[in-house]
Structure formats: structure tokens, C-alpha cells
Structure 1
Amino acid sequence: MVDPASLSVLDALHSTPARRYLAPDPIPDDVLWEVLDAAVRGPSGGNAQQWGWVVVTDPGVKGTVAAWYRENWDRAYGARRAQILAGEVDGGLTPRGYLGAEHLAHHLADAPVWVFPVLRGAADATSPRVGSSIYGAVQQLCLAARAHGIGTSLTTLYGGHEDELRALLGLPADALTMALVPLGYPSQGRWAQPKRRPVEEVVHWERWGQHRARTGGGVR
């Protein structure tokens, strides 16, 4: 078992990539409760906490949703597999990223625990910012899982089946699933800092297009 106290907050923030190769090994209930309890300490718009967290372990439910997921994956990415793996597609998934995402698409149901963050009052929302009321807490779920050595990824590729999913999970009529987060102990790969464009390149000071050189050594 991993000691959560051995990982600093900044180390967790710098080493929580999406983990898509997940073993089917069960997650102990006490660990899962700790992860969920950390999630609900996250930010909530107006502190209203108009959310719910649906934990799914039922193979039947997972099998149904996983089929939708594979269907969407094949439609969106499957036909471009050869081109992406050959590096012929600009932007989007890298060949390595594609293989990880493809593995998840075909093994999603193997993850022992799924968590659906659900937002009340969002079913008919038109604001693109509606998710801001829950996504901060979702990241806390992922970070807490990381502290326990549990991998996660955040996906919405089951989309297009919301009404069926609402019925499958018994959600209130006004509720909307905001993501699917599969949890499991990683079966391959490592905890590593995700590759990102340099912070100096993507941070703008005072107005868009104004950049500054970074001073100091940073936190790592």
C-alpha cells in the first residue's frame, strides 16, 4: 500500500497524468472512501454542492457503457489509426497517446471502479461554464487517488447516450453526468510529469500576447 503522506501536494500536481492502463485489482473500500471524501472537499460554485458522485462497480452497467464508449472511439479515432500512428495527423493525439487511449477504449470495463461526477440542475444548461461547479472537485478526486497510487483519467467519450445513462444510473431528471473517471492501480507506465508547452509560452501578462521571462528556479 502507498502511504499518502509520503507525497507532497506539489509533487502530486506535477505527476498526475492520465493513467489508461489499469489493472482489475480491487480498490479497498477504506481507500475509496478517503478518495471520495477528498473530492467533496473541492470547490463548488456558490458552495451549493449541487452534485452527486455515482460509484459504479457493477459489471453489467460497465459493460453497457463501455460498448457506447468503444462505438464513439471507433467513430472518432478508429478510422484514423494508421495515420495517427504514422505521425501524419497534426495536433490531437500523439502515437503514444493514441495507443494509451485505444487501450482504455477496449479495456474500460476492466477498471475496478468508475466514478461519475453528476451535477444537479445542469441537464438543460446552456452556459459553457456550467462544469466549473464540479471540475475542481473532480481534479481533487484524481489527486487523492494519485496519493494512494491509484490511476485515473477523465473522459466524456461515452457522450451521446445521456438519456440512457440517466436511466441506467437512476439519475434525477435535472442531473447531468459531467465525466467518467475510471480508477485502478496502474498495470504499466509510471508516474511522470506530463509533457506540456513551456509555461512562459502559454502564460500572458496583463493582456494576450505579452510574455515574460521566468525568473527564479520554480518549484521543481
Structure 2
Amino acid sequence: MSDSPAPVGLLEGLHSTPARRYLADTPIPDEVLWELLDAAVRGPSGGNRQPWGWIVVTDPDVKARIATFYREGWEAAYGVRRAELLDPARDPRIDTGLSASSYRATEHLADHLAEAPVWIVPVLQGAAGSRDTRLGASIYGAVQNLLLAARAYGIGGVLTSFHLTHEAEVDALLGLPADAATMGLVPLGYPARGRWAQPRRQPVGEVVHWGQWGARRTRP
């Protein structure tokens, strides 16, 4: 672990920054956090309005309370399906939302969220109660900047949102203005296991359409 960034090429970083959910509780230096956040705010913002704020959460009591909400949200969405999703006999051709390995990783995060040394909570002002399906375009590119910058420092993380089953309580704990909304939660930490690897994705040729849906080309 180093306070200085590693020389990670742009394309290398884009291809090898998977979600990291097994995070050590090793502290992250403040000077590194400032660098990550400075990279985040260089991300895209519609009209360059930058209607965002970024809350750095390190207080153990606040993390413990929000982690309880998070675990409840996780349990309602996936925990109740544990036997089904981890059944070794289930048909892999049926999309159940999570692979067995992904399930174990997300379950681990749900059980150990409060141990991640730092959480970054991206917030949009004027977003409370919005039904705009494109609202996230105003901040999610900047969140990816945050994760890519973290990658350069050997720090992992993931954008997640199971805590939003108790959105009002979380907003109160974080002291949000009445018109603002959290757009997720990003736990950050030095990875405790796993590696920087290219995430598995569908072949690009199967998801790219040329000119109109269904028109495909063979990649040279």
C-alpha cells in the first residue's frame, strides 16, 4: 500500500477496475481521499452545473447505523434467496440476478460494510422526490472517476444502494438538505482478497448495434 498512485494506463484502468467488495479495515490517508475526490469532481456534469455534494463518512456510529439499514435492504432483496442462488444444481442458463460468486461477495459486503474505513456518499441537490429516470447521468460518471482514481492507489470499492430502504433515516443521519438525495453509497478500502482483473462481460460484438437495433458487424 502506498500514498502515491501507481502508473496505471487509462485503458488498463478502464478494463481492470471491477467491483471490489472484500475490503480491509486499513485506514486510507486523508491526502489520498482528497486526490480521489478531486478526480471525482472532474467527471461529467450536465451543463457543467455540478449540482452535487460528496459526503465522506468515517464515524463508526454512523456507519454502524446505516450498515443495519443496508443489511436489511440486502436481506429483503437477496438474502431471502440464499438457498436458491447458491444451489449448485441450479440451471446456469437462467438469469437469477447474481452468480454464486457474486452472491458471496455481495453477502460479505452486507455483513462487513461498516468495516470499510471510508464511505463516499454521492449526493444530488434538487433530486429529492424526482422521477427523472436520467437523473443519475448528473453524477454517476463522476462516481466512476472516483473508482478509477481509487484503482490507481490500490483502493477498491463499489457503488451500491441497499441502504435506501431507509432513505429518510439515512438522510437525517447525514444531515442532507430537504431537496437533496443520496445517489448511492461507495465503500472504499484496500482489497482484502481478489485481484484487479477484467470483469466478465458479454462479447462486445453481441451488444453493439450499428445504425439500428439488431444490425451487427463482426469485429475485425
CA contact (8 A) 1:2 1:149 kept: no
Which of 76-85 and 98-107 deviates more?
A: 76-85
The CA deviation string for residues 149-203 of structure 1, in whole angstroms up to 9 with x for no partner, is 0001110111121111111111110000001000000000100000000000001
Give secondary structure in 1 for the equivalent of 2:132. coil
CA contact (8 A) 2:3 2:32 kept: no
Q: 2:172 maps to what in 1?
A: 167
Distance across 2 between alignment mates of 1:192 and 1:28: 25
The reply to whether residue 110 of structure 1 matches residue 115 of structure 2 is yes
**Aligned Cα RMSD in Å?**
1.1
**Shift of residue 2, structure 1, vs aligned partner:** 6.6
Distance across 1 between alignment mates of 2:80 and 2:129: 32
Number of residue pairs aligned between Structure 1 and Structure 2? 215
TM-score, normalised by the number of residues in structure 2: 0.95
The reply to whether residue 20 of structure 1 matches residue 21 of structure 2 is yes
Distance across 1 between alignment mates of 2:86 and 2:117: 29
The CA deviation string for residues 109-156 of structure 1, in whole angstroms up to 9 with x for no partner, is 000000000000100211100110000000000000011000011101
TM-score, normalised by the number of residues in structure 1: 0.95
The reply to whether residue 120 of structure 1 matches residue 108 of structure 2 is no
Q: 1:218 maps to what in 2?
A: none
Distance across 2 between alignment mates of 1:78 and 1:40: 34
Structure 1 ranges of 4+ moved more than 4 A: none
Distance across 2 between alignment mates of 1:5 and 1:95: 32
Give secondary structure in 1 for the equivalent of 2:56. strand
The one-letter code of the counterpart of 2:87 is A
The one-letter code of the counterpart of 1:105 is A
Distance across 1 between alignment mates of 2:113 and 2:37: 20
Q: Structure 1 residue aligned with 2:145, among 140, 144, 165?
A: 140
The one-letter code of the counterpart of 2:204 is V
CA contact (8 A) 2:22 2:109 kept: yes
Distance across 2 between alignment mates of 1:144 and 1:196: 22
Q: 1:62 maps to what in 2?
A: 63
Which of 122-131 and 78-87 deviates more?
A: 78-87
Q: 2:80 maps to what in 1?
A: 79
The one-letter code of the counterpart of 1:34 is E
Distance across 2 between alignment mates of 1:26 and 1:4: 16
The one-letter code of the counterpart of 1:15 is S
Q: 1:188 maps to what in 2?
A: 193
Gaps of 5+ in 2: none
Distance across 2 between alignment mates of 1:25 and 1:114: 13
Distance across 2 between alignment mates of 1:169 and 1:6: 35
The CA deviation string for residues 48-100 of structure 1, in whole angstroms up to 9 with x for no partner, is 01100000000111001100111111111112112111252732100000000
CA contact (8 A) 1:51 1:134 kept: yes
Q: Structure 1 residue aligned with 2:136, among 131, 135, 157?
A: 131
Q: Percent identity?
A: 63
Which of 91-100 and 73-82 deviates more?
A: 73-82
Distance across 2 between alignment mates of 1:61 and 1:77: 24
Q: Structure 2 residue aligned with 1:177, among 171, 177, 182?
A: 182
Distance across 2 between alignment mates of 1:194 and 1:58: 32
Which of 89-98 and 196-205 deviates more?
A: 89-98
Give secondary structure in 2 for the equivalent of 1:159. helix
Q: 2:37 maps to what in 1?
A: 36
Aligned CA distance change for structure 1 residues 205 and 2 (closer, same or farther; 3 Å): farther
